[in-house]
Amino acid sequence: MNSRLMQDSLNQFDELQDYNLFQSDAVLQEILTRYGSQAQSSLTTFGQVLGSREYYEYADLANRHTPLLHNFDARGRRIDSLEFHPAWHQWMALNRHYAVHASPFLAPQQQGQWVDWAARFYLTGQIECGNLCPHAMTLGGIPLLQKETELWKKIGQKLLSNEYDARDIPIAQKKSIWLGMGMTEKQGGSDVRANETVAHPIAESGRGQAYLLTGHKWFFSAPMSDAHLVVAKTQQQGLACFYVPRWLEDGSKNNVFIQRLKDKVGNRSNSSAEVEFQEAWGIMIGEAGRGIPTIIEMANYTRLTCSVGSTAMLRQALVQCIAYTRKRTAFGKPLAEQPLMQAVLADLALETEAAMQLSFHLASCYQSEDALSEAWKRIMTPAAKFWICKRTVEMSAEAMEVFGGNGYIDSGIMARIFKEAPVNTIWEGSGNIMCLDVLRAIQREPETLITLFKAFAEVTEADAVLQQELQALSGLFKNLAADELQFMARTLVGRLVILAQAILLRQYAPDFVADAFVASRYSAFHGRVVGVLNTPQIDIIRLLQRSFAA
């Protein structure tokens, strides 16, 4: 065969790179304008950097050259040091510079701060997700530690700092620090109440006092972080939450020993570990006996990051599919002009915009404390985390298939997204835990669902399909027995999320988007596989142009 023919890539196209993630996203720009964003100029610059070939390459390198654990130095001293590829540090420094870890807390009264943060997280999550774990943990830990006055005086500015400091040294010597989390144990999994790690007071007991922790954690997120928030049980006061630093103030390492790193399916650039505590030093944060509510407050933020992060994966998969099918030809014309491929692309586009509208509206609610915002946060945070993360797993597989065999090659971003997607369904609470949390929220505070449905009703009264669905859901939540509610929880929560997405699209998206979403999602065929649409009236051209105009 002619070597030239073998070298020429006839009808072969690489994944899209060198484009501005922000400027090419009309939906994101609309959302930010609606919620009063102050950061569009900065996001334009950020989007250009993120979309560069350089940062796509950094993402690939960081995931191919995974972290290495060095338990001992050359002379046998225990060091538990983690070695990362330089590409990892490039990502960590970039996102720290843009305050992905803390932006809502830098100017908390500024309009649109949480939506601006969500935009940062969403843009960077399209290219490299692993480094977002320490960013998410730090984000979620900041509001907890702000309540601990003495501790916050020592570490607050280091948590908020935008300067990246990769050194593994005591906190007092660092310019900035990271937080991780340690909840999961072998015997308990999601049942944190089964934790066996114990904490004994060194002198006085209670909030702000020092303890020694002994036990293990089966999953210890981001073990290279400068400190972790850890749940452990006390002898007299039940479970409590503790701030456990990696280094002690005297310059010695704390007794937190990394046993091994987890060999994960995806999220390869980021380290996750098993650890043992052998009288590790820590400070109780929050009230004694309130360890689970304290750590769940952190988890409410990190669950939001899961929804936004999965939305980012949906967006990148969609853009890559649209860009590829516009160039790749089959049966005499571009794939993007083939009707059946258009059905797949339209379904991906609708799912992506629905996830965006929900994730960003939910983020906006973290800026407010009114009854409706609280209802959205309490009910829809776990609901969105359940549904969007689940849908991303399915959609990422379909998007990979758009590329055919090329999508299944491990060197491309489509395969990386496919392997990355499941992590958000598991971390911060699996799907079942999220659905049970929705039920608990409704059972403990029934008025939250009433408030939410009352707001929904203001929109559904002009749409017969949505009005009927709201009435049906309301009846099910009201009339089903406890066991029936739990048995049907996935069905109910899924329907609740689709209804919320439809309502947001009715309020804020063009009619051709909302009409297509309602018609497709309330079809008997929806959800069987991607692209099973029974709505030929969809305006494919406008829908795909809205999704990606470049």
> Which domains, and CATH codes, for the chain?
26-160 (no CATH), 179-290 (2.40.110.20), 294-547 (1.20.140.10)
Give residue 525's pLDDT: 77
Joined together, the tokens standing for residue 366 give 């973290």
What number of H helices and E strands is found in the chain? 22, 11
Taking residues 411-420, report their average pLDDT: 94
Q: Angle at the Cα of 515 (from 514 to 521), degrees rounded to 5? A: 85
28-62 pLDDT per residue, tens = 999 999 999 989 999 999 999 999 999 999 999 99
pLDDT at residue 130 is higher than 90: yes
229-255 pLDDT per residue, tens = 999 999 888 999 999 999 999 999 999
Percent of the chain with pLDDT strictly greater than 90: 90
Give residue 388's pLDDT: 98
Q: Where are the beta strands (DSSP E) in 73-120?
A: 78-83
Give residue 246's pLDDT: 98
Tell me the three state secondary structure of residue 228. strand
Name the average pLDDT for the chain: 95
pLDDT at residue 168 is higher than 60: yes
Q: What distance in Å separates the CA atoms of residue 189 and residue 185, rounded to the nearest whole number?
A: 6
Q: What distance in Å separates the CA atoms of residue 135 and residue 95, rounded to the nearest whole number?
A: 8
Question: 369 burial class (0-12, 13-18, 19+ CB within 10 angstroms)?
Answer: exposed
Taking residues 432-449, report their average pLDDT: 97
Point out the least confidently predicted range of 48-62, 187-201, 373-387: 187-201
pLDDT-based confidence at 528, cuts 50/70/90? confident
Tell me the three state secondary structure of residue 200. strand
pLDDT at residue 527 is higher than 80: no
b/e map 1-34, b = 16+ CB within 10 Å: eeeeeeeeeeeeeebbbebbbbbbbebbbbbbeb
pLDDT-based confidence at 405, cuts 50/70/90? very high
pLDDT-based confidence at 151, cuts 50/70/90? very high
Within 126-228, residue ranges assigned H as helices are: 132-145, 149-160
Name, in order, each residue with C-beta under 8 angstroms of 322's C-beta and a sequence gap of 6 or more. Answer: 336, 345, 349, 544, 547, 548
Q: What are phi and psi of 72, to 5 degrees?
A: -135, 150
pLDDT-based confidence at 8, cuts 50/70/90? low
Tell me the three state secondary structure of residue 78. strand
Percent of the chain with pLDDT strictly greater than 70: 98
Taking residues 502-524, report their average pLDDT: 95
pLDDT at residue 186 is higher than 90: no
Most confident of 401-415, 463-477, 521-535: 463-477
236 to 23, 233, 289, 292: CA distances (angstroms):
56, 9, 9, 16
pLDDT-based confidence at 6, cuts 50/70/90? low
Pairing type for strands 227-234 and 179-182 reads parallel
Amino acid (one-letter) located at 147: K
Pairing type for strands 198-201 and 78-83 reads unpaired
pLDDT-based confidence at 194, cuts 50/70/90? confident
pLDDT at residue 5 is higher than 80: no
Question: 474 burial class (0-12, 13-18, 19+ CB within 10 angstroms)?
Answer: middle
Give residue 329's pLDDT: 94
Q: What distance in Å separates the CA atoms of residue 119 and residue 126, rounded to the nearest whole number?
A: 11
Q: Where are the beta strands (DSSP E) in 286-332?
A: 329-330
Q: What distance in Å separates the CA atoms of residue 310 and residue 449, rounded to the nearest whole number?
A: 25
Q: What distance in Å separates the CA atoms of residue 53 and residue 19, rounded to the nearest whole number?
A: 9
Higher-pLDDT residue of 302 and 111 is 302
Q: What distance in Å separates the CA atoms of residue 480 and residue 484, rounded to the nearest whole number?
A: 6
Q: What distance in Å separates the CA atoms of residue 143 and residue 543, rounded to the nearest whole number?
A: 39
pLDDT-based confidence at 208, cuts 50/70/90? very high
Taking residues 311-325, report their average pLDDT: 98
Give the position of tokens 């003495």. Answer: 150
Give residue 121's pLDDT: 98
Q: What distance in Å separates the CA atoms of residue 373 and residue 378, rounded to the nearest whole number?
A: 9
329-359 pLDDT per residue, tens = 999 999 999 999 999 999 999 999 999 999 9
pLDDT at residue 524 is higher than 80: no
Give residue 237's pLDDT: 83
Taking residues 391-401, report their average pLDDT: 97
357-372 pLDDT per residue, tens = 999 999 999 999 999 9
pLDDT-based confidence at 411, cuts 50/70/90? confident
